[in-house]
Amino acid sequence: MTTNRTPASPFGRALCAMVTPFTASEALDLDGAQRLADRLVSQGCEGLVLNGTTGESPTTTDTEKADLVRAVREAVGERAAIVAGVGTADTRHTVRLALDAEKAGADAVLVVTPYYSRPPQDAVEAHFRTVADASGLPVMLYDIPGRTGTRIEPGTMLRLAEHPRIVAVKDCSYDFLGAQKVMARTELAFYAGCDEHALALYAVGGAGCVSTVANAVPRRLRAVLDAFDAGDTARAARLQQQATELIELAMCSSLPGTVTVKGLLGALGLPSGPVRAPLRPADHETVEELSAAYERLVSYD
């Protein structure tokens, strides 16, 4: 049995919010990034989101951001879409990063709501329109009010959906009703930005997910969506539920996902390296808990 579900997924369905590997001295590890990107794509990721929250964008330079996009493009070729995070609290800076990403070979840009200054909705809308007008790349809006302090309100989303280059949303709003209202009235492709919502949002017409936990278990997160598309909704639910323990440890603890996932990747011998200050590495106990949950999860396969 297969479903008749054909959501628009402009960057694929299973996307990974990739960590940015660093060397022991905290320099950008482009070789490690290429190896990690190749592994992620080979194991089911249809798109990679670079220079996002998980990619430690607040502590990487503009040059490092562009270099990372170029290196990953070289590693994965056309096997996966590359969405480059370019959002900042400064519209002019965001435009420059979008143009840099376009030159470096990105397929699209991820633009977060301007943070800290808490602009009103008309200013939020103007910010996104300015960035979308600046380059030829499609735009994925990033709605994460828990970090930025400002929501992209559903009414603002509806207006932004009229822009020809604003095509998708990474939804971390925790407003499931609001997301459904916008999906029902627009063609915006909604990607779950919270791993625990991946299947739920997909089931009501979402385009897929942008997963942090996929850095460690890309096959598993892809399998959830594949099972749903094959019409085996019971299997999709079971696969999502089995991942809950690891998702909770990685994403819902007191530590940022970047810290937990890099700790797990390091334990698995995969490219990751340290986090940059002000973040601090996960402690030994946390890494042991993550590793045990990982082993339990992969034992189901």
Domain parsing of the chain, residue ranges: 14-232
Distance CA 153, CA 269 (A): 41
> Considering 142, 191, 202, 294, which one is annotated as catalytic?
142
Q: For the domain made up of 14-232, give the CATH fold.
A: TIM Barrel (3.20.20)
Per-residue pLDDT tens digits of the chain, which is 301 residues long: 344 444 578 999 999 999 999 999 999 999 999 999 999 999 999 999 999 999 999 999 999 999 999 999 999 999 999 999 999 999 999 999 999 999 999 999 999 999 999 999 999 999 999 999 999 999 999 999 999 999 999 999 999 999 999 999 999 999 999 999 999 999 999 999 999 999 999 999 999 999 999 999 999 999 999 999 999 999 999 999 999 999 999 998 889 999 999 999 999 999 999 999 999 999 999 999 999 999 999 998 7
**Distances in whole angstroms, Cα of residue 69 to Cα of each of 35, 36, 93, 181:** 14, 13, 17, 34
pTM of the entire structure? 0.96
> Considering 103, 116, 170, 262, which one is annotated as catalytic?
170
Question: Using omega within 30 degrees of 0 as the cis cutoff, is the peptide bond preceding 271 cis?
Answer: no
Q: For residue 142, indicate whether it is catalytic.
A: yes
Distance CA 232, CA 215 (A): 25
Q: For residue 170, indicate whether it is catalytic.
A: yes
User: How many CA atoms does the CB half-sphere of 98 hold within 13 Å?
Assistant: 29
Q: In the block, which residue shows the tokens 């089911």?
A: 44
Distance CA 196, CA 173 (A): 13
In this structure, what DSSP letter does residue 88 have?
Answer: -
Indicate the residue type of 255.
L
